[in-house]
């Protein structure tokens, strides 16, 4: 088993089941508090994380840890992230309103009326956060492999049923997350994070050039993963000269791929800058018709990468 996701309705004892499962499977527990702590450690205390960036950050953090040990994740929404990854199991913990109110009464030391009001507020907040971060306020049953009821099972029975389901499903036999699967997950996550200018420093290597934008490093790491030779900003092309022949304007593409004799320019900026950059590309093509250059836009970068043969191998 690589990743066990445990999600629950508001007021359910998700954290309790998560801790018990982590101890049972000798796994690392990633709960809401631990996840936010990891993000602060990587990106800094003052950085405000856009809601839309949370799924990619969660996917990156969990996948990275699943390389070395089993992971139990109780962060809401985790069940949506690893549907096609072998060795992952997703459980939903549910309970009646009266049961969940009772949980809050015991956990918070409050009366029933106060617990009922608190549960209503928690449910509203939970729906809002899920909608903002994952685009869906409610659970989908097909996102889960198992649903557990708090009303009919005590804590020990819930853990026993969960362990038996994981064992019978064969998930346990898959072991840890495969390095190739983790690399693919990191690429997808980092590609999405680049839209927000986010790049977790724990994944950045000190060697190599200093990139001007996170998307450039993502592109470079992708090329490395597929063993495609590249050069970063290797050449500037003069575009305009004054009457004495001095260069007044030049253009430096972001990458050169020697295997394909192709220059690559990544465009992820505001439209006014995109227009200016496109003008330079047109000038370059006019003045240097023998130069092959392709502009990659953020929204379709991954499709263009596949189209231009990134899966090819550099001859040894």
Q: Which residues pair with 30 in a beta bridge?
A: 73
Task: Return the bridge partners of 53, or none.
Answer: none
Strand partners, 7: 92
Is the residue at 313 inside a domain?
no
Across residues 124-128, what is the average pLDDT? 95
Range of the domain at 250: 226-307
Task: Report yes or no on 230 lying in a domain.
Answer: yes
**In this structure, are residues 110 and 134 in contact, taking their beta carbons and an 8 Å threshold?**
no
Bridge partners for 147 per DSSP: 92
pLDDT higher at 5 or 37: 5
Phi-psi domain of 240 (left: phi exceeds 0; alpha: psi -120 through 50; beta: other): beta
Do 41 and 99 belong to one domain?
yes
Q: pTM of the prediction? A: 0.67
Contact 186, 203 (CB under 8 A): yes
Tell me the C-alpha to C-alpha distance, in Å, between residue 43 and each of 74, 132, 316.
Answer: 21, 21, 38
Residue 268: pLDDT band by 50, 70, 90 thresholds? low
Residues 107 and 239 in one domain: no
218: in domain = no
Residues 174 and 233 in one domain: no
Phi, psi of 70 (to 5 degrees): -65, 150
Residues 34 and 125 both lie in one domain: yes
Asked whether residue 315 carries a pLDDT value surpassing 60, the answer given is no
Considering the domain architecture, whether residues 179 and 260 belong to the same structural domain is answered as no
Within a domain: 199: no
Q: Is the pLDDT of residue 28 over 90?
A: yes
Say whether pLDDT at 316 is over 60: no
Q: Are 251 and 272 in contact (CB under 8 A)?
A: no
Point out the domain boundary residue: 132, 165, 186.
Answer: 186
Overall domain count for the chain: 2
Q: What is the CATH number of the domain that holds 174?
A: 3.40.50.300
Read off the pLDDT of residues 150-205 as tens digits, 9 standing for 90 and up: 998 999 999 999 999 999 999 888 889 988 788 778 877 877 787 777 765 444 34
In a shared domain, residues 296 and 150: no
Q: Please check whether residue 314 lies inside any domain of the structure.
A: no
Q: Are residues 158 and 74 in the same domain?
A: yes
Residue after which a domain boundary falls, among 124, 154, 186: 186
Pair 161, 238 in one domain? no
98 and 175 both lie in a single domain: yes
Mark whether 268 and 159 lie in a shared domain. no
């Amino acid at each position: 088993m690589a990743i066990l996701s445990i999600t629950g309705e508001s007021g359910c004892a998700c954290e309790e089941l998560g801790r018990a499962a982590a101890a049972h499977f000798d796994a690392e527990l990633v709960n809401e508090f631990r996840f936010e702590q990891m993000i602060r450690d990587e990106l800094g205390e003052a950085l405000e994380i856009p809601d839309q960036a949370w799924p990619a950050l969660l996917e990156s953090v969990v996948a990275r840890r699943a390389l070395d040990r089993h992971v139990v994740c109780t962060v809401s929404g985790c069940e949506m992230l690893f549907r096609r990854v072998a060795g992952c199991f997703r459980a939903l913990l549910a309970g009646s309103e009266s049961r969940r109110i009772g949980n809050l009464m015991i956990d918070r030391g409050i009366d029933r009326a106060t617990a009922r009001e608190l549960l209503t507020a928690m449910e509203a907040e939970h729906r809002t956060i899920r909608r903002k971060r994952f685009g869906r306020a409610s659970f989908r049953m097909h996102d889960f492999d198992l649903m557990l009821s708090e009303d009919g099972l005590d804590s020990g029975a819930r853990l026993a049923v969960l362990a038996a389901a994981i064992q019978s499903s064969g998930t346990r036999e898959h072991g840890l997350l495969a390095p190739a699967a983790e690399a693919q997950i990191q690429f997808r996550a980092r590609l999405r994070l680049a839209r927000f200018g986010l790049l977790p420093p724990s994944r950045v290597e000190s060697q190599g050039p200093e990139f001007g934008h996170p998307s450039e490093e993502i592109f470079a790491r992708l090329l490395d993963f597929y063993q495609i030779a590249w050069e970063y900003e290797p050449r500037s092309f003069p575009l305009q000269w004054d009457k004495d022949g001095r260069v007044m304007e030049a253009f430096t593409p972001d990458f050169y791929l020697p295997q394909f004799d192709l220059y690559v320019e990544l465009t992820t900026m505001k439209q006014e800058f995109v227009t200016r950059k496109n003008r330079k590309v047109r000038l370059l093509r006019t003045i240097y018709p023998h130069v092959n250059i392709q502009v990659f836009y953020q929204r379709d970068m991954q499709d263009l990468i596949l189209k231009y043969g990134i899966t090819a191998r550099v001859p040894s």
